[in-house]
Amino acid sequence: MGGLVFSIVLTVHVLAGLGVIGLVLMQHGKGADMGAAFGSGASGSLFGSSGSANFLSRTTGVLAGVFFVTSLSLSYLSGAKSPAATSVMEGAAVQVPAPAANSAAPAAPAGDASKAKDIPR
């Protein structure tokens, strides 16, 4: 049941996000009103001279609200999936190699430029 609710909320979230993107791209900026004064054809739109701005901005606001609510819902539902709050690092196994019993001093690198051969042992 929890997986079904998560899938439904995720689907609504993606559709609301795509809707917000589409509606924002359809709206015109404030500078576009100057072009309507010189006959660019914006006054003969489908929603009238100012109806499209109100309709699109209100619809964008509603979809943004739906997007916000579904974001919070998804974060709550994803946290509710794992009942025991564990750290990601708790599952990682740390393997530290044990030092060898007869460890000799590291060998000096070959070459005349090394100063390691001058250090007394």
Residue for token pair 């979809």 = 63
pTM for the full model?
0.53
Three-state DSSP class for 12? helix
Convert the pLDDT of each residue in 25-57 to its tens digit: 988 776 665 655 565 555 445 555 555 568 888
Q: Which amino acid is at 31?
A: G
If phi > 0 it is left, if psi is from -120 to 50 it is alpha, else beta; for residue 107 that is beta
Name the residue with higher pLDDT: 5 or 42: 5
Convert the pLDDT of each residue in 78-116 to its tens digit: 886 555 556 667 667 777 777 776 666 566 556 666 676
If phi > 0 it is left, if psi is from -120 to 50 it is alpha, else beta; for residue 86 that is beta
Q: Which amino acid is at 97?
A: P
